[in-house]
Amino acid sequence: MAIPMKLLLRLLLLLVLGLGLFAAYLAVAPAPIDPLAWEPPPVPAMSGPLAPNERLAGATLLAAGKIDGPEDVETDAAGRVYGGTNAGEVLRLDGDALEVFANTGGRPLGLEFAPSGALIVADAKKGLLSIDADGQVSTLVDTVDGVRLGFTDDVAVAADGTIFFTDASDKFGFGDHMLDLLEARPHGRLIKYDPLTKTSTVLAKDLYFANGVALSGDESFLAVNETYRYRISRHWLKGPKAGTTDVLIEGLPGFPDGVAQSGRGTFWIAMFTVRNAAGDFLAPRPFLKRMVANLPRALWPKPEPYGLAIEIDEDGKVLQSLHDTAGASVYQVTSVHERDGALYLGHLHRDRISKVAL
């Protein structure tokens, strides 16, 4: 039965009025952010060593359907594979056997073994943790300089046992990373923990979502991902620039999440997704960013399913890239761990660890 024209016009008017009221609410309602405007750098050409390919598309899927959100991946001396989960567990994969190694009671993200054999964990909710060989969890740090760790993200351990880790945002906790992106203010910190004195020192602050961290091959500097600036910063530990921070590489083609030393004097960068026009359009427009922050989260922009890992040298030169352009097998890569000629890829929101032969 046809809808009368008058009724159709009334329904249309109500719809327009409702949308107008909703837009007005988004514009005037108090927002959870105090955003700044910034102008993103140009999107780099996907050519040369960044040229698209399908080298990730044939990945082997480990523990598929059995592990929820292995954001970072680590291996031990025996070749067993570790990954944290949304349930707070650190799972260990030995061949096809998967077991619970420990439970932090939080959200384990970055993982790295210390020379002592302890597994050091950056737990987004609990802080910097240590797990012994029996799976016993202890807290190393949860507050630095009187400021509680808001989003402990990644960890790198030096040969002498010194631990470096990131606090991605001391304002927005785990699950609120999109608010940090929209606010565009530097809430991140790079921190050093001395296991001998049990003291912590802030090495660099005012970082834009301080995400992955890794040591250079000679441990002269740290590479630190600033995810929401599409760049990797470099904090010098040794030499004439010791104590200073500069840029290792900028203008990346996506959002750098994890960074890891390959063991060959290069770094692997895990790219959560590629750049998108909507995000770059919003960046210099605080008014629109407030409106987006007030939207129900189901309506927030979604990342494009694109698999990407990039290898750079220690001068920031891009050497190669591995892609899954459709995200059919691999996407939302949050960590890259190289071991015995293969890459193990972690994924924050997926149910597998991806393995790719080099």
Q: Which residue has the tokens 């001391």?
A: 170
Tell me whether residue 19 is exposed, middle or buried, using C-beta atoms within 10 angstroms of its C-beta: 0 to 12, 13 to 18, 19 or more: exposed
Q: Given this model, what pLDDT does residue 302 score?
A: 85
CA distance 122 to 257: 14
Q: What is the pLDDT of residue 299?
A: 86
| 295/274 Cα distance (integer angstroms) | 23
Other CB atoms within a 10 A radius of the CB of residue 178 amount to 17
Q: Measure the CA–CA gap between 273 and 253, rounded to whole angstroms.
A: 9
Alpha-helical (H) ranges within 134-276 are 177-183
Which single residue is written with the structure tokens 């890239």? Answer: 321
Per-residue pLDDT tens digits for 51-96: 999 999 989 999 999 999 999 999 999 999 999 999 999 999 999 9
- Domain covering 53-357 in this structure, CATH number: 2.120.10.30
Q: Tell me the backbone φ, ψ of residue 57, rounded to 5 degrees.
A: -65, -25
CB distance 39 to 77 below 8 Å: no
| pLDDT for the residue 173 | 96
Contacts of 251 (CB under 8 A, 6+ apart): 41, 42, 44, 230, 231
pLDDT at residue 23, as a whole number: 53
Q: Do 290 and 32 form a contact (C-beta atoms < 8 A)?
A: no
Q: Show the low-confidence residues of the chain (pLDDT under 50).
A: 7-8, 18-19
What's the whole-model pTM score?
0.93
Inter-residue contact 231 to 252 (CB < 8 Å): yes
pLDDT at 24: 55
CA gap 287, 292 in Å, rounded: 9
Q: What is the pLDDT of residue 14?
A: 54
Residue spans of the domains in the chain: they are 53-357
